[in-house]
Amino acid sequence: MVSSPASTADTYTAIPLAGLVAREPAPFPLYLRTAEDVWVLYRPAEGPLDESHLGRLQAEGIAQLFIRDVDRRAYFGRVERSLDGILRERGVALEQRAEVLQGVALSVATELLAAPPDRDTVQRANKVMLAACGLMNRDKDALRAIRRVLGASDGLAEHSLTVGFLCMALAKVVMSADSTVMVQAGLAGLLHDVGRVGHENLEHDPEHAERGAELLRRLALPKAVVDAALSHHERFDGSGYPHGLRGSHIPEMARLVGLVNTFDKIYSTQQPRVGVFDALRILAQAYRGCFEERMTVAFLQLFR
Ligand SMILES: [Fe+2]
Ligand SMILES: [Fe+2]
């Protein structure tokens, strides 16, 4: 172990040991915390690391290592393929697993929505949602842990990811706990505003719904995901767009995404800023009639 103290200018993120060993050496240094605010270099970038090293750490009672915050992107890229395995590690605190999920998911969402997506990136997003779905179905506190690591959505990727995770949780209650449906809901949320990509500067852009649906149709995404992009601004009372559909004429997945999308908009953009519970109150009161009652009620209960 190299024990030179780390630079005090850096800030650090704790990471679980799971998922760290891979064929390629880690392109970033790993640190140990030896006391509050004291980090020492454990492995330099590209330093060798195998299961026996991790075994020795565990034998010493060390359950986590640290990376510099500037290396978070590289770290999440590295563990993307082992995400499901990390989320299954019961030895890793749920909060820490939720943080890895959020980090990986945000890096994939950012790529997914940086330009009109391709099949390969959609496939990666699908895998992330599948892993998230597994976590939600295994652990009843997963949603609470995921919610804690989601901040206010200040960009399209953050907004889309928050909507995706919340759609998945709501679908589990109002549609089906079947993982196919839940993953579709996650993807529907993640991709609902894909028509905005390349037009982010437009404040008012009602065409994004049809543009997005067309894009997703070309990528051969499931009908429910395409429907959600097309109809997430339709309102239960017929006041929405693009077609002024009403009630059950709006596809169920679009009703679900529309509700969650509106919540995140209130929570993230309302001025002055509001907390989660005020955002829920506004959703239930100011948007009365816009959404299906049973979905609104179930959504409020998710936050209990
Ligand atoms: Fe939208
Ligand atoms: Fe949206």
- Ligand 1 geometric centre to CA of 278 (Å): 22
Q: Which phi and psi (to 5°) does residue 32 adopt?
A: -110, 145
The two structure tokens encoding residue 2: 């190299």
Query: How far, in Å, is the centroid of ligand 2 from the Cα of 292?
Result: 18
The dihedral through the CA atoms of 181, 283, 276, 263 has a sign that is positive
pLDDT, tens digit (0-9, with 9 covering 90-100), for 154-169: 899 999 999 999 999 9
Question: Which ligand has its closest atom nearest to the C-alpha of 233?
Answer: 1
pLDDT of residue 10: 86
- CA 197/CA 164 separation, integer angstroms: 17
Reply yes or no on whether the pLDDT at 3 is more than 70: no
Percent of the chain's residues with pLDDT above 70: 97
CA of 154 to the centre of ligand 2 (A): 12
- 126 pLDDT higher than 60: yes
Q: pTM of the full predicted structure?
A: 0.93
Q: What is the pLDDT of residue 243?
A: 97
HSE-CB at 77 with a 13 A cutoff on CA atoms is: 10
- Go through the domains of the chain in sequence order and give each one's CATH number: 1-70 (no CATH), 93-302 (1.10.3210.10)
Length of the chain: 304
Compute the distance between CA of residue 225 and CA of residue 252 in angstroms, rounded to an integer: 11
User: What's the chain's average pLDDT?
Assistant: 94
Give the model's pLDDT for residue 4: 56
DSSP 23: S
Mean pLDDT of 10-18: 93
User: Is a pLDDT exceeding 50 seen at residue 1?
Assistant: no
Dist. CA 269 → ligand 2 center (Å):
11
Q: Check residue 249 and report its DSSP letter.
A: G
Q: Which ligand has the shortest distance to the CA of 189?
A: 2
pLDDT tens sequence across 85-112 = 999 999 899 999 999 999 999 999 999 9
Q: What is the pLDDT of residues 157-207, one digit of tens each?
A: 999 999 999 999 999 999 998 999 999 999 999 999 999 999 988 889 999
3-state secondary structure of 5: strand
User: Tell me: the pLDDT tens digits for 18-76?
Assistant: 999 988 899 999 999 999 889 999 999 999 999 999 999 999 999 999 999 999 999 99
Beta-bridge mates of residue 30: 43
What is the helix (H) or strand (E) element at residue 82, kind and residue range? none
pLDDT of residue 6: 63
Q: What is the pLDDT of residues 207-247, one digit of tens each?
A: 999 999 999 999 999 999 999 999 999 999 999 999 999 99
State residue 22's pLDDT score: 87
Look at residue 150 and tell me whether its pLDDT is greater than 90: no
Give the distance (Å) from ligand 1 centre to CA of residue 210.
10
| pLDDT of amino acid 5 | 61
Contacts of 19 (CB under 8 A, 6+ apart): 78, 79, 82, 83, 85, 86, 100
Distance (Å) from CA 108 to ligand 1 centroid: 20
From ligand 2's centre to the CA of 160, what distance in Å? 7
Does 255 have pLDDT greater than 90?
A: yes
